[in-house]
Structure 1
């Protein structure tokens, strides 16, 4: 009894007259002798395990036995669940299947099931049915289709093994490779940059006495050109001449690409210019390739000049031509020109593709125009274009850099809902975003999600996680991550250790930081300016100026150049000790070393001069920095405002604030808070609330410290009313001697409501952020009752609490061991 009969006996009862009496075998069995059995070498190729019974090869075989199997009810039911592995299993278990039915079944699936794609393996098992039946013509088509079905390096390796076995003269199933198959195989290898295999296949082609044609040699030229290996590319160009063939536009365009990849744009230009003399028409690809090379070399204007000449050569810019130049313009801060070109391409009916839109999304994010970036994303989706993971990642990075993590997570949800799988870059961007906001647990949760998605964390991933743990002061967890990255075969780099040393110094763990720094040499890590600067800064803040200067000298001896931050740390250190002249001398030294003093450098000096009351000298340094082309920033102006406010000179402070706004420098939360504090100390509450109004109108979010001064004023008034019976001296003592930080310990709900009322009187509507600052303030000192009352009050007003509010309430409950309230 044959293998087909044995495998299908549970469906078709055996007959005493033999297998030929059953009509199924006349329909399905291949009409060849047993001498044509497949070779053991090809039959041994791996195949997926047999599927469940309802989709097993036996069940499929029984359905295919029917003359009109395509319309069979059982087949129609199976279609939604059929996969390439079922096809492989059927052909592998039934190699004597009628080849015509096998081919019909194979060809029908992509037509009747949308999205169905045969794999390299399902092709291979069909070929093992077709070739023994001498169906070489259709076999050639299936072999070409098999080559094109490769989607991974593993597919390519399986394909090469299979084709080489069938190509062998001593194989039972012999199917020699044709010139077309060789060409398709070389093109597929080129797509996966498998250059060594290409060279080997080319040699095998020659050994098979197959004469390479222009397509063969062009494929070799193009592959080496893509790698920038112009020497090998020209070697195959010479083979074109040796074969009596002529290079064509594809050949020369490949060489242009090769020279550009080899950073030799001038040679690429020579090839481009000589094409007409060689009788080769320059096409859109030729132009786009040389334009791309010019843009990559920073010669954008030359690229644009060629772009404008394309029509003279009867060539018209493609979407890629436009995209290449748009990308270059935005990458070189020529944003207006980039936007104009983007609009021009649409006016010329050249519709942007996914890559064009991705360039635009990324450019808008870099300009911090996140709303515009999101609008562009929506526009491309409305046009039916599917954003790539690169598109989504650009927007996620933009949101993360601006601290808008919730918006970044929304984009993550959008990409997952659109079946776009996040990659390592996606998670790295989000982890960095959480790191900036010190959301340690959320960052670690993303690591878990990354591993669940079968993604491998990179060194960037671990460095980001180490950074967030160190910033949060969780050094034990950071060291565990360091061990974990080593266990996973990764090697810590300069950035890894820079994070440790920098955060250890900032946490005043100087001895630990120094020990780690001194161990770097044996680890093979060269100390960089970040590490030195962190140690110098740490020593300066600890008052150890001599140790800091010694580190600077060691830095020079090891050819590690100090930067402005290094010198600024030293200048800050000596100024902190009141040695302004030494600070000024260091500014001269850094200039001699070719390090330009920054705004921060001058601001450090100004702060110390103001602290010493030397306003004249501070103003001279201020004017000097402006004359040197350094624009004072918010910290510079705030240094003056702080000094004026401390001395109660609010008129000068207001003047300086007006001056900074006129200069285009916007005050920050600290600047406004200093003014509010000064007015509050002077008892000028009306002016303090007016500053709050200006602050909110400017889009500057008040901090909890801002509100603390206003609450302190209201608390003083309340205490004075409650203690009006006391003697004047006792009354003053009872309301004066508590600082702004203590207000959270004494603030009552009534005071908070009065604050809201006063805000409303000045045109400031208390919002979610107002409630958040107050709730966080009282939660930090364990005053759950007031926090809960404020929470209920905002709910009554129809406001939706944000994440910070919930986190503060939960933290407070846990600190007070109010676990039932925390669960609620």
Structure 2
């Protein structure tokens, strides 16, 4: 049987209210989510809609009204700090009291969706006069429940350990923390006081579900309800909450625990983790306060504490404070390890203090040679190499690779792999290949992963010849590139015009075991299409057939696409005809779409339409929107506007839904054909009602209107879109600005920029480059700069509308987006700034 005493909560008003106590209250206001009730001498509590009755309540006003007196039970405090009240609980208690007045009736009590009390009729209860308990059913088991007539509270014959086990099962086995919380809240209504095990189970389950914010709030709620775990449990829970990477919330929780338990001291590990998280978020000052708090509570900082704090200050550029902390370590008897020295060295390298860095790096090598902690030494070496590469000290990295000053404190394989990784991260792939050369000279084989990273980076960075050389050298020790690296290397070699080397790599891969040869050929053929090598393309296709490697549909589609892009439509049609005649695999919709594009690009409109309207249906292929878009684009490009519109009508008739690409193609085609009225009508009657339009469609309309000399209509169109709650992107505004600048309309251009800002968009680099067209004349530059200086000097005082945030934000945007071609960037910036400033002043006036 649980304890009968009720817990108390001290609320902010200063008076106490019992959790589980029943109070008279008056409804003061009603909201959609519940009602606010004044009780217990002026305290305000929230009566949630779910606590109004046992049945579902649709509207709060159906149950209570303003000014109504109620008997409500205090449930404690919710996660938002409101006092939780329940009308439903008092109704349940009233029924319970009535059941004890009439002993012939057993009352049911619902605990949770999975726990319910059985209801007996009058005859059954009369037949069992000596029995005081109802049957309690919890899924597969039946437990007994009884009501205490002495305290009018709900108690259960199940032990605390039994309920603790049930809650723990919900949290761990079932992974249903919400069920556990619902059960726990229901038990609290009936006098049950959660223990440390309940608290631990719930907090761990919430953290496992990544509900860290709720875990923090729940723990604060438990603490406010005087459910305070022991010191060991507190440290375990703090360690788990630190996984959330929210140091401020966790530190606030620690302070609350210390206020309630003055003797509680968080563990040194928890303090170190908290300091690390504050330093990671670039708040070393806060971390230092935690450091002092840790010392005040009796902890002696260890090397981890100092190293973490030094690293935080170094990241923020506070090298002086970091150096003082480093010197302080020897004063308090804490011996810095190699990682501490490397962290301080990283900060010194950022300040480019080469003399101090040289002293520290010599000290680091000596420390590493005398320290036998391999993990710390590896971390220190990795940190210093990464810092050297990040700050551009590559010669020092190569010197370390040659001299090996760290000795045997770090394995050579790890050291060289770290150098390669750090150099690749900063894009120094040739430097990484130099490390490989040093390794090979010392008889060390690089790891295949590091070697692949170098070759891949060189291929992407334009060093495909060096990558091919490394590929040939790597074959000697069993290196095989990944498929992705193979594709990048082959494509880069083909683009350099060195097809024989690319073919050599293909032949090497084909000889490997358990490889998809067709896929390897497809990659190679795709690379050949990039360089317009039709002869090699045909030879490769013949080579596939000779090696009994059957081309698939992807192979043939790639070949056809390559021929079409090279303008060799006849060769493409030969391959296509072979596919339709059964020589190869049958064509699919991609094949037909590719051939259609090739025919239209070659001006063979009739053949393309026959292929679309006759041959595709004959093979059971239904043209998709992608196919129709390709045909429409080709027809508009050939100035066959009427034929294109007929194809669009056929597309709609066959039930193929147009997308925004379709509409963009049609709008572009109509404007190019100078059919402005048709384009407007198509927008009004088709595109807008379909709700299928995006920024590409808007840009097409704006460009068409501007090119036809209708800048005003283009502006009106964009502003109407905004009025209809459509948000065009900055590209559409830049189109208007460019149109105004081309016409020399400076005022209109800056007005468009103002509208852009009103709608939440900031000008980008393209905007400023467009505006530069308006500032070719520099005759009045000195006068403008003088007037601007006077306005800036007195603007903030004389006009509250011209705030400093406006000026600073505008200048920052200009500086960051400044075109590199501008001769005098500051003059250009001030010119633009002056024009916008004048417009802003006129707007204010």
TM-score range normalised by the length of the shorter chain: 0.3 to 0.5
Normalised by the length of structure 1, the TM-score is 0.39
- Which structure: greater strand fraction? 2
Normalised by the length of structure 2, the TM-score is 0.39
